[in-house]
Amino acid sequence: MKTEILKIQPDNIDSEKIKYAAEVLRGGGIVAFPTETVYGLGADALNENAVKKIFEAKGRPSDNPLIVHITGKESVDGLAAVVSPQAQVLMDRFWPGPLTLVVEKSGKIPSAITAGLSTVGLRAPSHPIALALIREAGIPIAAPSANLSGKPSPTASKHVIDDLYGRVDVIIDGGDADIGVESTVLDVTTDVPVILRPGGVSFEQLRDVLGNVSIDPSLMKKPSEDFVPRAPGMKYTHYSPKADVIVVEGEPQKVAEKINSLIMEYQSKNIPVGVLATEQTKELYKGIPYITLGDRLEPETIAANLFKAFRDFDDIGIKVILAEAINNEGIGLAVMNRMKKAAGYNIIKAT
């Protein structure tokens, strides 16, 4: 397949290029485009054959549901069978933005999108290119992250090109994503809304609006083979670089000590090892490749750099990545979810 790359500036959108990409989508093609979270791989959500192309391009399991991207609450009618008062409040507060709401689907939504579930995830992205594309196309766009299934999500066009060039019709190069982890997925079909995937909107932000919100217990452990995912990112090993990832939890000084001891073990076996560090701990690692993700006190900086760091270590041939755990508060919950998924829940406690 021939892949066209369209470079578009978010602050100076080329309307002709957007029109072209929108025509590709309406014609049943697939287009990778930037959002504020990560890059997405889009197809006409109401065209089942087009949706199937997403699964083929990514090598994505068919039981892993997709999110449908729209321009805002005005587009929900016809896609959702029921919209609860809680969902209305959340749309008003967080849309456009990094929050996906799982609602009862209408009959218009193809089963390929929902993996046979009776619900569908809806989101209105805030990225100007994404919104312009959806508006111009005039259709809801189904879009998972624009990477090969299981690999780190793409936060830059280079990552999309590395994974999907020759597999998709169009890649829109719109610069780097801001948030760096995917949207929060919240099930609002229950009396108490449930976080199915932590992301760009935090548990604390949702609790402040709703008063009561829970976290799906399956997020805390490795799911079984027969587990049925209700949202993307719940079942399969995700976000993984080629290197093995080990997450080390504990007090930062103890974590650094444990990581340094592990470094010595791997070096004695001539295994290339790298460290995902923070500003507070980077000086504790000497003579070893490390990447500073950001500031522990500003977890948004860590979220923005995590997936790129995984890919950067792959590029230099690192075989084992030792990752410092961070606090679970705020967007830190999403960061730790992605780290643990990437590690296949290979976690070491530093004591």
Annotated binding residues for L-threonine: 37, 69, 123, 143, 183
* 348 DSSP 8-state letter: E
Binding residues: 37, 60, 64, 69, 119, 123, 143, 145, 153, 183, 197, 239
Q: Which helix (H) or strand (E) holds 301?
A: helix 299-315
Among 197, 170, 21, 35, residue whose Cα is nearest residue 101? 197
Q: Which helix (H) or strand (E) holds 246?
A: strand 244-249
Instruction: Give me the amino acid identity at 52.
Output: K
- Would you mind telling me the total number of residues written for the chain in this entry? 351
Q: Which helix (H) or strand (E) holds 86?
A: helix 85-94
Phi, then psi, of 5 in degrees rounded to 5:
-110, 120
Contact status, residue 104 vs residue 122, Cβ threshold 8 Å: no
Binding residues for ATP: 60, 64, 119, 145, 153, 197, 239
Among 236, 218, 186, 256, residue whose Cα is nearest residue 342? 236
